[in-house]
Amino acid sequence: MSNKNKAQKHSFQAEVREVLKLVVNSLYSNKEIFLRELISNASDACDKLRFEALQDEALLSGDSEFNIDIEIDSEKHELIIRDNGIGMNFEEVTENIGTIAKSGTRQFLKQVSGDSDLDQKLIGRFGVGFYSSFIVADQVTVLTRRAGDEPGQGVRWSSDGAGEYEISNEDREHHGTEIILHLKEAESEFLQSWTLRSLVTRYSDHIGFPIRLREEKEDGEPGWTSINQASALWTLSKSEISDDDYQSFYKHLSHDLEDALDWTHNQVEGNHNYTNLLYIPSRAPLDIMLQRDERSGLRLYVRRVFIMDAAEQLLPHYLRFVRGVVDSDDLPLNVSRELLQENEGIRKMRAAVVKRSLDLLERMAGRGGDQYTRFWEEFGAVLKEGVVEDMSNREKIAGLLRFASTHDGNTDQRTSLEQYLERMPKDQDTIWYVTSENHRSASNSPHLEIFRKKGVEVLLMSDRIDEWMMGYFTEFQGKPFRSVAKGVVDLGGETESRDEQKDKEKTENDTLTKMTTVLGEEVSEVRASNRLTESASCLVFGEQELALHMRQMLEQAGQDLPASRPTLEVNLDHPLYKRLSESEEDSGFSDLTHLLHEQAVLSEGGQLKDPVSFVQRMNRLMLEMASVD
């Protein structure tokens, strides 16, 4: 007898234990969602078997009528949810229930606050699925067998959710999954037929398979009663669907606890007939920025038959936050991922889905209020990827972008590029921006000083993606973008003051040349700055070079980059520079030169190559100043 035929005890993965504890404690006030989650899982299992059976009808074992059954056993205080879907084998049960391989789990657990209201919102971004069973049950048993396996390959899994589970093989006559919840004493309301009917109507009425409840009939004999409409919601006309119906379907589709921000529902007729129902979530998954290599996308159906989840061919990566379904009347039922890549109909559907998604975002943005602001806070950094990836829609995506700005001194206010252009003086022909590792350092950047003095608005960019994006995003509506931290900046000015500046530069040429020599390979040159009015120094890069914070981030990620030697600009009117130019000691001159360079590196969010030497120089300077005092 193999070990699989004996009950094996295992401990839950540490992350699973923490997630279970969090789910039970934080979601109790919304405990009825366990039924929605289990029914959604059962629906997915039926969808998957129906699709696999297109290739191998024997998987159905003669049972082609899919059902999700709910049964009450009052004597045992048990609620049973059963489906005749795809089922699971031993390895799949172990992988899917004993562990969490989901990216973002550790980040999710780090953000737990202990406040049940806040944690409930956090859980909604993570998803709970099967683990919601333990909100109402003190013992959960899963009986399952994968379609196509032998009866002896069935699996029994059971746990009280405290830290361990038992798993073993056992005979199962039929494929599918049965979940037996031994309810906690206080949860007897879920043994009432009317409660279950009410919850199914509220949360799962749109499920495309019959949900049947076993209850006593008029003749006193128990029998099965269908308690949902069992019609795919997206096939109905919009006039038949309430907002609550749309939100309920979204939660089934996404396993989200929160409502969607907005949605669009379209039926397309012509050369290709299809329906799409697209949602914008209200919160981003915790790992949204890490999902670029993971499959994501919409659910694809063909004539109401589920074909695949996460059909990435229907959505570009930069719209991976969109949830929904596409149901085609024209594609073959045996369509594969490879065929999807070559199918002309899919390419046209993809273009239409992208257009509908961007139109939906435009509609949200046009309404004003905080709806689009909420979207931007959650998904703005992801949408920016489209500026690089989707040339055909770049102008439309650009119109949806929002940035912090120096306008009116309120750097927390978001502005669109159209609003920036509307405020531009007629003689300004450039859209100015600065990138930095965070909003505070962007708004305090020394490069902004001359722009603030002259009242020129600058966009503040602090998402990690911004520097990469702006390498490809060169103009908007005919106006070029320029970084305030790259190249030579000349905002004009009175002829007299400009002549004065040139005279100063000539006078200080020997000092600047000497500073360049002291810094050696650290810089390409040291020159007088017309950017700075208050700060002593700043680093300036070439137009095509990466900003220092982005360069260091890529290097830390293991990327080899060509050597870079920025220019050090110094403020000739600053007391530190004047002190340096008057220094007669080579050691004092060298210390001040390096300090001006190191200040500039730190201002750019960079890391010093030799922080110990920096501290020693600072100490020498402070001691010298103290002795003078």
- Report pLDDT digits (tens) over 142-182: 999 999 999 999 999 999 988 889 999 999 999 999 999 99
**34-65 pLDDT, tens per residue?**
998 899 899 989 999 998 998 899 999 888 89
The least confident of 36-45, 281-290, 529-538 is 281-290
Task: Please say whether the beta carbons of 255 and 127 come within 8 A.
Answer: yes
- List C-alpha distances in Å: 79 to 87, 164, 180, 211, 624: 19, 22, 6, 14, 80
* pLDDT score for 495: 46
- DSSP E strand stretches across 39-96: 68-73, 78-83
**Res. 550 pLDDT band, cuts 50 70 90:** confident
Instruction: Please provide the distance, in angstroms rounded to a whole number, between the alpha carbons at the two ends of the chain.
Output: 89
pLDDT beyond 80 at 541: yes
User: 114 pLDDT band (50/70/90 cuts)?
Assistant: low
The residue that leads in pLDDT, 622 or 15, is 622
Mean pLDDT computed over 211-238:
88
How far, in Å, CA of 543 to CA of 566, rounded? 11
Per-residue confidence (pLDDT) for residue 189, from 0 to 100: 96
Q: How far is CA 172 from CA 87, 154, 229, 278, in A?
A: 11, 5, 30, 39
**pLDDT of 295 above 70:** no
In DSSP terms, 50 is beta-bridged to none
pTM (predicted TM-score):
0.78
Helix, coil or strand: residue 309: strand
Query: pLDDT class for 485, splitting at 50, 70, 90?
Result: very high
Residue 65 vs residues 49, 83, 101: alpha-carbon distances, Å: 11, 11, 33
Dig out the tokens for 414 from the structure: 């978001």
Distance CA 137, CA 160 (A): 8
User: What is the predicted pLDDT for the residue at 63?
Assistant: 86
All residues at 6 or more sequence positions from 319 whose CB lies less than 8 Å from its CB, including other chains: 354, 357, 383, 386
Q: To the nearest whole number, what is the mean pLDDT of the chain?
A: 86
Note the pLDDT tens digit of each residue in 433-470. 999 989 999 999 999 999 999 999 999 999 989 999 99
Percent of the chain's residues with pLDDT above 90: 56
Q: What is the pLDDT of residues 357-386, one digit of tens each?
A: 999 999 999 998 899 999 999 999 999 999
Residue, of 118 and 135, whose pLDDT is higher: 135
Q: Which of 220, 16, 3 is nearest to 106 (CA)?
A: 16
Dump pLDDT digits (tens) for 225-269: 999 988 889 999 999 999 999 999 998 888 888 899 999 999 998
Mean pLDDT is highest, among 17-26, 440-449, 543-552, for 440-449
CA 570 to chain centre: 41
Q: Could you give the 3-state DSSP secondary structure of residue 355?
A: helix
- Whether the predicted pLDDT of 122 surpasses 60: no
Give me the amino acid identity at 193: S
According to the model, what pLDDT value does residue 520 have? 94
pLDDT in tens, 414-423: 999 999 999 9
Confidence of residue 99 (pLDDT cuts 50, 70, 90): low
| Mean pLDDT, rounded, for 567-582 | 92
